Amino acid sequence: MSGVDGPRTATRVAAVYGAATPPGRLSLTLETAVTRLTAEAGLTVARVDLHASPLPLAGTQGAEESEATRAAVAAVGESHAALIASPVYRASFPGVLKNFFDLLPIEALQGKPVGLIVVGATHHHFLGVDRHMRDVLSWYGALPLPVSVYLTSADFEEGAPTADATAELEQLADALLHLARTVEPGLGPVPLAARRP
């Protein structure tokens, strides 16, 4: 697995801001969920911010060895779970987030719970990111929560998530933490992508 042995009372969660754009509503939603997580004793959050620390393109020379890549991989690899926030971009998630996944080794997410937060302009693409992200997470053998949080402009008042949106984000954080503290490493078969000939 990924070197996260030890008591689950010391749970670590990677919080990924999956956008190249400056922080706004998406960042606020992620912070709301992170605030809920950090209220728990013995929990630490490792942050990956694809705006503040852009990653080199996967497949280019030195991409895997760059300081930004090493930090992002360590944040996820050393965590028990991941919380990923993504905007809707052309009915899917943005290229910077796909590039992040392309730089992650399989064991960084294998068998780990993942919570998804998505912010879009309207409800028209509410399953776009969810469906495409689950395809990618399946390749890693990750354990996405059954329901993600999808928010639109109507879920914000005066720049902050509404009470209902906040409640959904907190429920997502609670479910992610519960699963992270319950699931044992190595659950299920090895994903196809990790099998060796």
Q: Is residue 178 domain-resident?
A: yes
Q: Name 11's bridge partners.
A: 43
Tens of pLDDT, residues 64-94:
999 999 999 999 999 999 999 999 999 899 9
Residue 127, pLDDT > 70, answer yes
Per-residue confidence (pLDDT) for residue 1, from 0 to 100: 39
- Measured between alpha carbons, how far apart are the two ends of the chain, in Å? 19
Q: Is residue 4 domain-resident?
A: no
In the numeric block, which tokens belong to residue 114?
A: 């993942």
CA distances to 13, 34, 163, 181, 183 from 43, rounded to whole Å, are: 8, 10, 24, 11, 16
CA-to-CA distance for 23 and 92, rounded, in angstroms? 19
**Predicted TM-score of the model (pTM):** 0.92
Q: Is residue 6 domain-resident?
A: no
**Contact residues for 39 (Cβ-Cβ < 8 A; gap 6+):** none
CA-to-CA distance for 160 and 25, rounded, in angstroms? 7
Q: Is residue 190 domain-resident?
A: no
Q: Is residue 3 domain-resident?
A: no
Give the CATH number for residue 53: 3.40.50.360
Q: Is residue 20 domain-resident?
A: yes
Q: Is residue 167 domain-resident?
A: yes
- For residue 78, the SS3 value is coil
> What is the distance, to the nearest Å, from the Cα of residue 17 to the centroid of all Cα atoms in its chain?
8
Tens of pLDDT, residues 147-175:
999 999 999 999 899 999 999 999 999 99
Q: Is residue 102 domain-resident?
A: yes
Band (pLDDT 50/70/90 cuts) for residue 145 is very high
Q: Angle at the Cα of 112 (from 106 to 113), degrees rounded to 5?
A: 135
Domain count, the chain: 1
Domain extent, residue 126, equals 11-185
